[in-house]
A and B are shown apart, each in its own frame.
Chain A
Amino acid sequence: DQQVKQNSPSLSVQEGRISILNCDYTNSMFDYFLWYKKYPAEGPTFLISISSIKDKNEDGRFTVFLNKSAKHLSLHIVPSQPGDSAVYFCAATYSGAGSYQLTFGKGTKLSVIP
């Protein structure tokens, strides 16, 4: 049972345009969501997070939107740059987990075309 789903394995975007990466979850207990970026041969790097008490969080070119009723979140990258080309993972956790356990989606490979 996949509790966090990233239904698009890959996405190609022109440099300067907006990249939108989507993520859906099924576990209604999740109350904290994170996005990680991963380059080949490196570990994931934390990008941005959002608590379920918010519907938007912004950090520079990165904005995460959360729609709790739809159990959907998205990551917007504006403007997209070639260095953004990587695999992006959506992850979720809940404060009652009692430990730092993240449930990850399978990732979306973003290619930003110069």
Chain B
Amino acid sequence: KAGVTQTPRYLIKTRGQQVTLSCSPISGHRSVSWYQQTPGQGLQFLFEYFSETQRNKGNFPGRFSGRQFSNSRSEMNVSTLELGDSALYLCASSSGTEDGYTFGSGTRLTVV
């Protein structure tokens, strides 16, 4: 079966711009979570969506937002980009157990 698909794989944006990243979960998975990976901080939880509702949010500024659609696909938006937002953004979908947490390959965002 298809895994978690994230698009685009790579993205270069300029400071001050906004960006939207997309995640298609594994079919049947209703929970989608987003993580930011940076060399200094490791993987940090951004937010989790379940059935179109945000269930939990990490400690990130309001410039980071997301949403989930009725087909469980999710988007993440970052507005007013800063150089420090350069990172690998990972999406994970879940079948309902912690072991069912499957990650996509990520979107590498570079802010210049």
User: B-contacting residues of A (Cβ < 8 Å)?
Assistant: 32, 34, 36, 41-46, 49, 89, 91, 93, 97-107
Contact of A98 among B45, B55, B94 (CB under 8 A): B55
The dominant DSSP class at the B interface is strand
Not counting A98-B55, A102-B101, a sample of 8 additional A-B residue pairs whose C-beta atoms are within 8 angstroms of each other reads: A43-B105, A43-B106, A46-B101, A46-B102, A99-B33, A100-B94, A102-B33, A104-B44
Contact at B42–A106, with CB atoms within 8 Å?
yes
Is B45 a contact partner of A101 (Cβ separation < 8 A)? yes
Q: When A and B form their complex, what is the total count of cross-chain residue pairs whose Cβ atoms lie within 8 Å?
A: 64
Contact check, B45 vs A102: say whether CB atoms are below 8 A apart.
Answer: yes
A46 to B98 Cα, complex, angstroms: 10
CB contacts (< 8 Å) of B104 on chain A: these are 43
User: Per a CB cutoff under 8 Å, which of B56, B103, B106 touches A45?
Assistant: B103
22 A-B pairs with C-beta separation under 8 A: A32-B98, A34-B98, A34-B99, A36-B103, A43-B90, A43-B92, A43-B105, A43-B106, A44-B43, A44-B103, A49-B99, A98-B55, A98-B56, A99-B31, A99-B33, A100-B101, A101-B56, A101-B58, A102-B33, A102-B43, A104-B42, A106-B41
Q: Are the C-beta atoms of B43 and A101 separated by less than 8 Å?
A: no
Q: Give B contacts to A, CB under 8 Å.
A: 4, 31, 33, 35, 41-45, 48, 50, 55-56, 58, 90, 92, 94, 98-99, 101-106
Which of B41, B56, B90, B105 meets A99, CB within 8 Å?
Answer: B56
* A97 & B56 in contact (Cβ 8 Å cutoff): yes
In the A-B complex, the 9 residue pairs with the smallest Cβ-Cβ separation, listed nearest first, are: A43-B103, A106-B42, A99-B55, A104-B43, A99-B56, A99-B48, A100-B94, A44-B103, A43-B105
